[in-house]
Amino acid sequence: MASYYNNETILWLNGEFVKASEAKMDFYSQSLHYGYSVFEGIRSYKTESGETRIFKATEHYDRLRNSAESINMPYSWTNEELIDATYEVLRRNNLQDAYIRPVVYAPANMSFVKNTTSFIFIEVWEMSPFFGDKLLRIMTSSFQRPNPKAFKITAKAAGHYVNSILASQEAKAKGYDEALLTDMNGFAAEGVGANMFYEKDGKLYTPSLGNILPGITRATVLEICAAHEIPVEEKQVTLEEIKEADAAFFCGTAAEVIGWESFDDIPFKKNWKETQSRKIQLAYLARVTEKQLEPVENALA
Ligand code: PMP
């Protein structure tokens, strides 16, 4: 297992900077017993200028609030105080390229009634930028994403991730890198912690919103497509059309943009390096690190 902290690590806990090794939380928390908490996964990067920049901090903290409110957890923080605290946690841990994990959790409560308060912490750990040259072998999961009539699927709620853990462990046990999950109707939905796109004849396709987490990276990919005039369509995606595709990729804050080598053992038709998807991958990495694309790299179409 990765090591996330040591004796020196500082986290932000309900307004205070404390040592991770000394931080305490309640063993009677409703969050621990029932998976009733919400969280974010955010990245900071050392940018071209040498500054530390949290990518789309406002969008992530907006989603944290929406996640909390949609499952009836009180939420009393402003984006400004959380973003300030995040930069300060990064600074105190001497980190620039980092993964940032805020968690909103509940007090001691063994019943299901609504709480009058919530708590929060922000943890950070080192994570280097990933340049995505590895390609993934993906399989269709035997698990479906949670039915939106059973869960608030747009909330990044801890309990939903039991589904992700089961799907990921199944894929790895079968020798694949990761799983693609379907929605309750059998259409392609998303990965265990990332959204997906596929490419066919120079056009991109991605599952519509409704049965997936509305990814901030997915939105960024749509922005990149618009900026570079790459056609893209949000639609119901079948597994068969992914098997016929030229390329496919996952996108997420941690995964960034990462290409697929094969889907259910069927290799993709195009060499990854020659796809629009690869250009989007480079454009994404340029955005997060605030790097100017070379004119030749910029000629995406
Ligand atoms: N789907 C799921 C299930 C996820 O956990 C994530 C990661 N947060 C994503 C998609 C991608 O979201 P984002 O681009 O906002 O990280």
pLDDT value at position 297? 55
CATH number at residue 71: 3.30.470.10
In a domain, 20, yes or no: yes
Checking if the pLDDT of 294 tops 80, the result is no
> Which ligand 1 atom is the nearest neighbour of the CA of 195?
10
Same structural domain, 281 and 142: yes
Cα separation, 64 vs 129, in Å, equals: 23
In a domain, 4, yes or no: no
Domain-ending residue, one of 108, 126, 144? 126
pLDDT value at position 301? 46
In a domain, 3, yes or no: no
> Which ligand 1 atom is the nearest neighbour of the CA of 41?
8
Same structural domain, 176 and 266: yes
Tell whether ligand 1 has an atom less than 6 A from the beta carbon of residue 93: no
Q: Is 250 exposed, middle or buried (0-12, 13-18, 19+ CB in 10 A)?
A: buried
- Which range has the worst mean pLDDT, 84-93, 100-109, 194-203, 291-300? 291-300
Domain interval for residue 246: 136-299
Average pLDDT score over residue span 38-54: 97
> How many structural domains compose the chain?
2
pLDDT value at position 2? 73
Tell whether ligand 1 has an atom less than 6 A from the beta carbon of residue 29: no
pLDDT bucket at 299, cuts 50 / 70 / 90 = low
Same structural domain, 20 and 159: no
In a domain, 76, yes or no: yes
Checking if the pLDDT of 108 tops 70, the result is yes
Q: Is 106 left (phi over 0), alpha (psi -120 to 50) or beta?
A: beta
Mean pLDDT over the full length of the chain: 95
The reply to whether 156 belongs to the active site is yes
pLDDT value at position 130? 73
In a domain, 111, yes or no: yes
The pTM of this model reads: 0.96
pLDDT bucket at 98, cuts 50 / 70 / 90 = very high
Please count the residues of the chain. Answer: 301
- The number of CA neighbours under 13 Å toward the Cβ of 229 is 4
Per-residue DSSP letters for 1-61? ------TT-EEEETTEEEETTT----TTBHHHHH---EE--EEEEE-TTS-EEETTHHHHH
- The residue nearest atom 12 of ligand 1, judged by CA position, is 215
